[in-house]
């Protein structure tokens, strides 16, 4: 923010004002301060206009059949595989299709709120970065190959602090190549890599955040309009999962469902 911005107002205040999340007293206070800072007022107004344009574009849409099917399937699985305390959060997601605005989430389909500690926001960034780094490697894409699958998942699970699995994605034409240990928020994360007969690769990223208290399912298309990397990601208790690939959204959603069904209960 520019140097003229009053000390009482920061970027969070302006985003909250643009999103309409302030109570009446605080909104009036912010607007009085903005009246004395034209540059800040113009910036905040541009955010608000952007938010309104995005809301208008996605005003009250009915969830696509494939989106509803995917979330409903996750809700069904929650009832049989996950603690009952999580069922409410997942069930509340059914039928909810919103676009995150005002915090750099434009272009993301949000099925539930972001985690309080930011894990849900950082998860796709980490997954995408690791995808871009390691899928471009010809000879050293993985540390441990698929021929040592049992050792691979045991090692990565131990470092992550949670049991993991290497899902079978052969039904979608992808075979496990192997995996590696990667960093995530200054802690160990895990990355599994798959490849199909055409040489296309996708990754399954695992990241742990013990302070997470919410569950979310989201679809991320990357930071730019020309970006070809798409990520479907969610958090289940302390562990976040993200599947990234340069494939069509429908196939990515099918693969996400396959992965979800084969993951161990948290």
Check whether residue 258 and residue 126 sit in a common domain. yes
Residue, of 4 and 198, whose pLDDT is higher: 198
Q: Is the pLDDT of residue 62 over 60?
A: no
User: Would 155 be classed as within a structural domain?
Assistant: yes
Are 181 and 126 part of one and the same domain? yes
**Pairing state between β 230-236 and 144-145:** unpaired
Are 241 and 205 contained in the same domain? Answer: yes
> Is 80 found in the same domain as 35?
no
Q: Does 26 or 222 have the greater pLDDT score?
A: 26
Same structural domain, 159 and 96: yes
Over residues 11-20, mean pLDDT: 75
pLDDT for position 217: 75
The CA R_g of the chain, rounded to the nearest whole Å, is 20
pLDDT value of residue 79: 42
The per-residue pLDDT for range 135-164, each reduced to its tens digit, is 999 889 999 999 999 999 999 999 999 999
Q: What is the CATH number of the domain that holds 104?
A: 3.30.200.100
52 and 70: one domain? Answer: no
Give the lowest-confidence range in 75-79, 177-181, 202-206, 235-239: 75-79
The band of 216, judged by pLDDT with boundaries at 50, 70 and 90, is: low
pLDDT digits (tens, 9 = 90+) for 98-112: 333 333 322 333 334
Same domain, 75 and 126: yes
Task: Answer whether residue 148 is part of any domain.
Answer: yes
Q: Is pLDDT of 73 > 70?
A: no
- Mean local confidence (pLDDT), 81-110: 35
Task: Indicate the pLDDT class of residue 35, thresholds 50, 70 and 90.
Answer: confident
Does some domain include residue 4?
A: no
Exposed/middle/buried for residue 150 (C-beta within 10 Å: 0-12, 13-18, 19+): exposed
For residue 184, being part of any structural domain is answered with: yes
Measured between alpha carbons, how far is 136 from 141 in angstroms, rounded to an integer? 7
Q: Are 147 and 175 in contact (CB under 8 A)?
A: no
**Is the per-residue pLDDT at 24 higher than 80?**
yes
Question: What strands lie across the sheet with 144-145, from one edge to the other?
Answer: 98-99, 109-110, 216-220, 230-236, 239-245, 201-208, 187-196, 174-184, 144-145
Does the pLDDT value for residue 193 go beyond 80? yes
Contact between 172 and 200 under an 8 Å Cβ cutoff? The reply is no
Is there a domain that residue 6 lies in?
Answer: no
Residue 180: pLDDT band by 50, 70, 90 thresholds? Answer: very high
In a domain, 74, yes or no: yes
Mean pLDDT: which of 74-78, 92-96, 230-234 is highest? 230-234
Backbone angles phi, psi at 9, to 5 degrees: -125, 135
Amino acid 42: pLDDT: 72
Q: How far apart are CA 2 and CA 17, in angstroms?
A: 18
Paired tokens of 1: 């923010």
Q: What is the pLDDT of residue 130?
A: 94
Number of domains in the chain: 2
Residues 113 and 242 in one domain: yes
Does one domain contain both 120 and 220?
Answer: yes
**CA 150-163-128 angle, 5° bins:** 90
- Domain range for residue 76? 65-262
Average model confidence (pLDDT) across the chain: 74
Residue 250 and residue 231 share a domain: yes
pLDDT at 40 over 80: no
Buried b (16+ CB within 10 A) or exposed e, 154-187: ebbbebbebebebbebeeeebebbbbbebebbee
Residue 45: the pLDDT is: 74
Same domain, 25 and 112: no
- Report the percentage of the chain scoring pLDDT > 90: 38
The answer to whether residue 5 sits within a structural domain is no
Question: Does residue 2 form part of some domain?
Answer: no
Final residue of a structural domain among 24, 41, 57: 57
Q: Which residue has the higher pLDDT, 50 or 123?
A: 123
Same domain for 104 and 44? no
């Amino acid at each position: 923010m520019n140097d003229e911005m009053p000390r009482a107002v920061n970027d969070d205040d302006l985003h909250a004002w643009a999103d309409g999340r302030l109570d009446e007293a605080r909104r009036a206070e912010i607007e009085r301060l903005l009246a004395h800072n034209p540059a800040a007022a113009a910036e905040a107004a541009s955010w608000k206009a952007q938010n309104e344009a995005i809301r208008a574009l996605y005003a009250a849409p009915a969830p696509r059949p494939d989106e509803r099917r995917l979330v409903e399937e996750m809700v069904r699985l929650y009832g049989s595989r996950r603690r009952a305390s999580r069922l409410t959060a997942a069930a509340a997601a059914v039928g909810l299709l919103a676009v995150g605005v005002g915090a750099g989430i434009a272009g993301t389909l949000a099925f539930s709120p972001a985690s309080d500690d930011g894990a849900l926001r950082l998860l796709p960034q980490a997954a995408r970065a690791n995808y871009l780094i390691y899928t471009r490697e010809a000879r050293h894409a993985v540390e441990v190959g698929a021929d040592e699958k049992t050792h691979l998942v045991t090692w990565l699970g131990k470092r992550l602090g949670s049991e993991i699995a290497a899902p079978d994605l052969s039904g979608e034409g992808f075979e496990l190549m192997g995996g590696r240990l990667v960093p995530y928020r200054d802690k160990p994360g895990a990355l599994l890599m798959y490849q199909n007969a055409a040489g296309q690769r996708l990754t399954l990223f695992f990241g742990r955040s013990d302070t997470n208290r919410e569950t979310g399912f989201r679809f991320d298309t990357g930071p730019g309009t020309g970006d070809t990397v798409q990520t479907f990601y969610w958090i289940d208790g302390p562990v976040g999962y993200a599947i990234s690939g340069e494939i069509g959204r429908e196939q990515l959603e099918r693969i996400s469902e396959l992965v979800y069904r084969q993951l161990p209960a948290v």
